[in-house]
Chain A
Amino acid sequence: MYQKLAFDAWLSCIKEEKEGLLATVLQQGGEAEERRLFIPKEGQPIGTLGDTGLDLQIKDLANQKLHESNPKSETLTLKKADKEEESVFIDVYIPPLTLMIFGAGHDAIPVAKYGVSLGFKTVVVDQRSFYNSEERFPGTERIVTETAKFSEEVLIDSRTYVIVMNHHLERDQETLKFVLPSKAPYIGVLGPRSRRIRMLEAIEKEGVRFEEEQLERMYSPVGLDIGAVTSEEIAISILAEIIAVKNGHKGGFLQNSARIHQLAKS
């Protein structure tokens, strides 16, 4: 019965978009009861794999995996207290990443659309309610606010991927002053390199300086080099870059490469 609770707790965890891990002993028929252990990032574990040694190993592993930015699910062969081996599938759930788009212009529409279909929690920030609407950006969360109020109304954490595309020099500058010091791992800025340099110089004149590490997260010109021209193509180029950064890949062609995926970190 506890094992069923572990499964149900896993379901609730995913529904509530919280981090959690479910360990299941892989068994081939026969056995009377399923053996599972659910461990949330916050809160108490539920269930057991039927062996203290196994439970402890899973607990340690959960501690690790639930703090990684991109943990992988995997099957491990673990030794029980009596040295007997058992295959345990470790399934990790990490809630969707946030894609935050500053600017609700027409070219933001495909970016938001692909963001939603890729499973990102997609947020559009723009003060113009006429543009920043549900009709234009279905499935997104919209924050209608001006740059001066960002610090009160916009929350950026270490799981927020940012795209700055206001098509407005001052608004982009103000946005950069807000997002560059944030914890965002990725800040894509639309426009040519000359524009980026111009904006950073203008910000510097105001006496705001950024650290090298802060500027390294700034991807500008934004996107992968696929020669994108239309706003749909540009959106794909931007999201492809974001997927690459998120997965720790470099982008580029797979042609002739020995591996498609990176190996799970062990």
Chain B
Amino acid sequence: MSETAIVMQAIEETRKAGRKAALATVVRVFGSAYRREGAKMLIDENETITGMISGGCLEADVAETAKQVIASGAPILKTYAMDEDVVWGLGLGCPGTVEIYIEPVPDGHQSMEEKAGDSSVSETCF
């Protein structure tokens, strides 16, 4: 299964279990970075983590931010500018600037079947 599919499956599972969660996505990269745009990590309210958005440098901080996002329901766009010297000094080894969007996972109250019967859906289309 692809990485994205694994994170998406985790979203489905947290929704089924009724747990709140936040989705962190790498949305912009300047310079070198371990993960590219589109890399995802899901953090649920029990702090269970699925997927990765860096080589291990940012996961802890992002998970901490995710708690705020889950609590407030408002997304946060966070920029991590990692100075190469500082990073190497800490032994983390992932220089570059990375922007990570951390957003609450929308609840999935409606099942797909219900939605299929929702005629208003098509009105939003072009």
Contacts and interface: CB of A to CB of B under 8 A. Distances in A.
Answer yes or no: are A and B bound together in one complex.
yes
A119 B3 CA distance: 7
Contacts of A15: 5, 8-9, 12
B67 to A, nearest CB: 15
Given A5-B115, A8-B108, 18 more contacts: A2-B121, A3-B106, A7-B106, A11-B11, A11-B108, A15-B5, A15-B8, A17-B5, A27-B75, A27-B77, A29-B76, A89-B25, A89-B37, A89-B101, A91-B25, A91-B38, A92-B38, A260-B32
23 contacts: A4-B106, A5-B115, A8-B108, A8-B110, A11-B108, A15-B8, A17-B5, A26-B77, A28-B76, A31-B74, A34-B75, A48-B124, A55-B126, A72-B37, A73-B36, A73-B38, A74-B37, A89-B37, A91-B25, A91-B38, A93-B4, A261-B36, A264-B37
| B11, B28, B106 pick with most chain A CB within 10 angstroms | B106
Interface stretch (A39-47, A125-133, A186-194, A235-243): A39-47
Query: Chain A interface secondary structure, helix, strand, loop or mixed?
Result: mixed
Contact of B2 (A24, A72, A96): A96
B90 interface: no
B38 A26 contact: no
Contacts of B72: 29
Interface in B12-35: 12, 25, 27-28, 32
B74 A73 contact: no
A260 B96 CA distance: 12
Contacts of A93: 4
A75 interface: yes
A248 interface: no
Contacts of A14: 4-5, 8
A130 B30 CA distance: 51
| B12, B107, B124 pick with most chain A CB within 10 angstroms | B124
Contacts of B12: 11, 15
A5 B108 CA distance: 9
Nearest to B120: A2
Interface residues of B, number: 36
Nearest to A96: B2
B122 A72 contact: no
Contact of B106 (A34, A45, A73, A74): A34
A92 B2 CA distance: 14
Interface in B29-70: 32, 36-38
Q: How large is the interface on A (under 10, 10 to 19, 20 to 34, 35 or more residues)?
A: 35 or more
B7 to A, nearest CB: 9
B19 to A, nearest CB: 16
A47 B107 CA distance: 16
B72 to A, nearest CB: 7
Interface string B114-126: 0100000110111
A177 interface: no
B77 A119 contact: no
A92 B106 CA distance: 19
Contacts of A55: 126
A30 interface: yes
Contacts of A89: 25, 27, 37, 101
